[in-house]
C-alpha cells in the first residue's frame, strides 16, 4: 500500500500528509473500517466503548460512564438510550438523585461483548500488523502519551473515577 506523500514543492510545515491531525483522522477512518470488518454492525465503535466500560463498572451513572468512554454527556445519553432499546443495558433512576440514571449491563449485553471479544482481538492485531512487535510497543506507548498529555484539550476528556482508599 503506498504511503501518502505531499505534492512536490510543499514545505513540511504545510504537508497535509505529514500533519499529525490529518494522520490521526486517517488512522481513525481505518480503525472504524476494520472495526466493522471484524465486529460486524451490531454495535458502533462508540456503543462498544460504552458497553465495555459499563461491563467493568456496573451501577455507574450515565455522566460518569460517558467520562470513562471519553465522550460528551449528550452523546452518552443518546448511546445509552439506543443500547437500552437493543436490550443491552438497563437504566434506572437513582433514588437519591432523580436526575441521574444508574446503568447495568443485561445478560444479552454481556453475551454480545463475549461474542465480540475475538473480533476485538483481531481488530487490534490488524491495526498494529504493519509494525514490528517492538514498534507496536513504542507506538502504543507514544499514542497513549499523546492522548493522556492532551486529555485536557478534548471537548470530552477521559474522566476516570476517583479511587478511594480504605480507612
Q: What is the pLDDT of residues 26-76, one digit of tens each?
A: 999 999 999 999 999 999 999 999 999 999 999 999 999 999 999 999 999
Task: Report, in angstroms and rounded to the nearest whole number, the Rg of the chain calculated over CA atoms.
Answer: 19
pLDDT confidence of residue 47: 98
* Domain ranges for the chain: 16-149
- Backbone φ, ψ for residue 97 (5° rounding): -145, 85
Cα–Cα distance measured from residue 123 to residue 31, given in angstroms and rounded to the nearest whole number: 8
- Selection from 90, 86, 115 nearest residue 104 by Cα: 90
Q: Count the neighbouring beta carbons within 10 Å of the beta carbon of residue 68.
A: 20
Q: Where are the alpha helices (DSSP H) in the chain?
A: 20-39, 45-56, 62-69, 73-85, 107-128, 133-149
**What is the CATH number assigned to the segment(s) 16-149?**
1.10.10.10
CA distance 126 to 130: 8
Query: Looking at residues 86-110, what average pLDDT do you find?
Result: 89
User: Is it the case that residue 6 has pLDDT exceeding 80?
Assistant: no
Cα separation, 54 vs 69, whole angstroms? 9
Amino acid at each position: 500500500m503506498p504511503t501518502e506523500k505531499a505534492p512536490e514543492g510543499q514545505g513540511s510545515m504545510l504537508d497535509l500528509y505529514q500533519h499529525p491531525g490529518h494522520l490521526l483522522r486517517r488512522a481513525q477512518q481505518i480503525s472504524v473500517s476494520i472495526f466493522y470488518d471484524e465486529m460486524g454492525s451490531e454495535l458502533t465503535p462508540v456503543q462498544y466503548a460504552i458497553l465495555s466500560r459499563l461491563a467493568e463498572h456496573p451501577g455507574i451513572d450515565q455522566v460518569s460512564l460517558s467520562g470513562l468512554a471519553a465522550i460528551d454527556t449528550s452523546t452518552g445519553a443518546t448511546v445509552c438510550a439506543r443500547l437500552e432499546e437493543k436490550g443491552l443495558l438497563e437504566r434506572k433512576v437513582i433514588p437519591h438523585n432523580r436526575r441521574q440514571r444508574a446503568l447495568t449491563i443485561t445478560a444479552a449485553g454481556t453475551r454480545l461483548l463475549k461474542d465480540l471479544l475475538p473480533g476485538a482481538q483481531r481488530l487490534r492485531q490488524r491495526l498494529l500488523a504493519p509494525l514490528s512487535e517492538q514498534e507496536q510497543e513504542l507506538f502504543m506507548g507514544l499514542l497513549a502519551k499523546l492522548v493522556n498529555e492532551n486529555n485536557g484539550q478534548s471537548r470530552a476528556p477521559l474522566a476516570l473515577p476517583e479511587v478511594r482508599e480504605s480507612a
